[in-house]
A and B are shown apart, each in its own frame.
Chain A
Amino acid sequence: MQAAVELHQVSKSFRVRRARGAGFTARVFDLLGPETQTVLAVDRLSFSIAPGERVAFIGPNGAGKSTTLKMLAGILRPDAGDVRVLGFVPSRQRHQLAFQIGTVFGQRSQLWYQLPPRDTFALLGRVYEIDGREHKRRIDALTSVFELGTLVDTPVRHLSLGERMRCEIVASLLHSPRMLFLDEPTIGLDVSAKAAIRELLRSESERQGVTLLLTSHDTGDMERVCKRAIVIHRGQLLWDGPIAALRRSYLKAKRVTVWTEAEHLELTLPGVRVLSSGSYRTELEIALEITPLGQVVDAALRQAAIRDMAIEDAPLDEVIRALYANADTGSASS
């Protein structure tokens, strides 16, 4: 089966101005002959995504995520390497590709601010050359799925951020794209709006078989929408695999909270760090490779009866932070 997305050794750099200094002379020199430097945003990046997959595209600020998305959408042209999206070369076949893909940029808007979303939907129907009857059917269907109700006839300036974002996603899905690029779709949303957007994205992808590539700093987005993660750092691929495997590979510790009959626990086992202890509650971080969980529980039971216990993985945030830290250490040492 043809991959939905295929990147092979893709690189992209930008030339940016570099100020000589803050003084008057430096500014005059900057005006007359600006100094520039080349910033490598994406560095020999390769990966592929199968049709229907939902992939989280992760990286710290400046890692090259948005640049990659824009190359995939055909907005930016790569300096080197091959990019194929749904069989198209985006930089050369942007027009044809545009009919097949949708984009949602969380901090940008495609809706006309003073007008109700329905007007923008009508414009997009013409732009994507959708048959009138089909367009109406699609608007009705998506309005129902995304529970827009009267929001489609409310001026965008009166919508909350969460409502606007639902309308933005509907606008991106109107032409039934086979691939959806999402850049921080839940940024700035409250907890319930985030949950609603995640659920809608996941279900829409499952129902229509839409391939999703989602960039976000919110690990909740990744875990609830995607099954696979691609992590990049400084424009290079750092990790590519299932999110569960990402946890397993980088999580060498578990967080255990124990409620006991004794007020304190005194545990001095190798690989066990007491994070907090008191008021009949002790929080531990256990390096499982050094000391198995069972040994810790035995040791605790020898001191006091256990009333309750909670075992958690460290948050995905920490896993990703560890991944970046490892990469930074690696690049510093090399």
Chain B
Amino acid sequence: MMAFIVKYAAFSRISVAQARRERGELYGRIVFFAVILGVFSSLWRAVAEAGMPVAADPKTLVWYLAATEWIVLSAPPIHLDIQEAIRRGDVVYRLGRPASYVIGEFAASLGLLAARAPLLGLTAFLCAFAFTRWIPPLGALAIVVPFGLAAAALMTGLHLWIGLLAFWLEDVSPVYWVWQKLMFVLGGLMMPLELYPQFIQKAAAFTPFPVMLADPASFVVWNRLVTPGALARSLVIWCCATAIAVWWTFRRATSALTINGG
């Protein structure tokens, strides 16, 4: 077990080193994050000032968005790396090593997640505070952080699964495009799911999207969509389902493997 941990921790470590060298991407995400929060805080304030009905307190909506965007931006787009490795054929190196390809890729992504999440979390906190002049109860934030990280790890696993589809599709961007739209609609990326029509909330309950976004983010403001225990259970179930899907897809992919150039 120790050897297993040491082996795959090396993937995480090199990924952290790579993230340090590619600071531009992280800075880009931070700027994007600040802009998004600025735009939406202005929007909610303008809506409230215009006397239009806002389903929730604009301040809480900004903090909710800060939490969901923190999760989304922290999860590395591993599907792009896998797609590129398959297109270029570099995947042959990784498949031929005495290490599991999927665990290695996942461990590398977790390293990237660990490198990004703290800075993006700090950005979320500072920007949300700057735009609302309000801080949610610290107890609520203390629950959001571990659940947010677990949700980002689950999202990374699902990105890995999307990436594996490149063994057949070569270009997984259409799949990821649909995935992003589903995150908006079924995950409650911009607004809490409670504000959505009832039928969307019911449909969302059968998908992993609320577990990754709406449920952990809701602790910031309401703490009433789901209890921490129920969310932990749901996360475990969806992590297991994702692991099975990744394992099955990878087995199918390697048995049908035709690598570029032979």
Q: Which A residues have a C-beta under 8 Å from some C-beta of B?
A: 14, 16, 41, 64-67, 69-70, 73-77, 94-96, 98-99, 101, 103, 105, 107-110, 112, 114-115, 119-120, 122-123, 125-129, 155
CA distance A65 to B94 in the complex (A): 20
Please, which residues of chain A bring their CB within 8 A of the CB of B89? Answer: 105, 107-108
CA distance A95 to B254 in the complex (A): 15
The reply to whether B92 and A115 form a contact with Cβ atoms under 8 Å apart is: no
**With A75-B96, A127-B97 as given contacts, are A115 and B258 in contact (CB-CB < 8 Å)?**
no
**With A16-B258, A114-B22 as given contacts, are A98 and B96 in contact (CB-CB < 8 Å)?**
yes
Please, which residues of chain A bring their CB within 8 A of the CB of B95? Answer: 75
The reply to whether B21 and A66 form a contact with Cβ atoms under 8 Å apart is: no
Please, which residues of chain B bring their CB within 8 A of the CB of A122? Answer: 10, 14
Most buried by A among B6, B17, B97, B259: B97
The reply to whether A115 and B90 form a contact with Cβ atoms under 8 Å apart is: no
Q: Which B residues have a C-beta under 8 Å from some C-beta of A?
A: 3, 6-7, 9-11, 13-14, 17-18, 21-22, 88-90, 92-99, 104, 254-255, 257-259, 261-262
Identify B98's interface contact among A41, A64, A69, A127, CB under 8 A: A127
7 further contact pairs, Cβ within 8 A, besides A69-B262, A75-B259, A123-B11: A70-B259, A70-B262, A73-B92, A98-B97, A110-B93, A114-B18, A126-B9
**With A112-B14, A114-B22, A119-B14 as given contacts, are A128 and B98 in contact (CB-CB < 8 Å)?**
yes
The reply to whether B7 and A129 form a contact with Cβ atoms under 8 Å apart is: yes
Please, which residues of chain A bring their CB within 8 A of the CB of B258? Answer: 14, 16
Inter-chain contact count A-B, CB under 8 Å?
88
Q: How far, in Å, is A208 (CB) from chain B's closest CB?
A: 20
Please, which residues of chain B bring their CB within 8 A of the CB of A155? Answer: 21
Residues of B contacting A: mostly = helix
Identify B18's interface contact among A75, A77, A109, A115, CB under 8 A: A115
The reply to whether A110 and B21 form a contact with Cβ atoms under 8 Å apart is: no
Please, which residues of chain B bring their CB within 8 A of the CB of A103? Answer: 92-93, 96
Could you list some 17 contacts between A and B, CB below 8 A? A69-B262, A73-B96, A76-B257, A77-B255, A94-B96, A99-B98, A109-B93, A110-B93, A112-B17, A115-B18, A115-B21, A119-B17, A120-B14, A122-B14, A123-B11, A129-B3, A155-B21
The reply to whether B96 and A127 form a contact with Cβ atoms under 8 Å apart is: no
The reply to whether A108 and B7 form a contact with Cβ atoms under 8 Å apart is: no
The reply to whether B98 and A95 form a contact with Cβ atoms under 8 Å apart is: yes
CA distance A129 to B6 in the complex (A): 9
Q: How far, in Å, is B218 (CB) from chain A's closest CB?
A: 37
Closest chain B residue to A124, Cβ basis: B97
Q: How far, in Å, is A73 (CB) from chain B's closest CB?
A: 5
CA distance A64 to B262 in the complex (A): 7
Q: How far, in Å, is A181 (CB) from chain B's closest CB?
A: 9
Please, which residues of chain A bring their CB within 8 A of the CB of B93? Answer: 103, 105, 108-110
CA distance A77 to B255 in the complex (A): 7
The reply to whether B7 and A127 form a contact with Cβ atoms under 8 Å apart is: yes
The reply to whether A105 and B10 form a contact with Cβ atoms under 8 Å apart is: no
Q: How far, in Å, is B158 (CB) from chain A's closest CB?
A: 24
CA distance A77 to B258 in the complex (A): 11
Please, which residues of chain B bring their CB within 8 A of the CB of A126? Answer: 6-7, 9-10
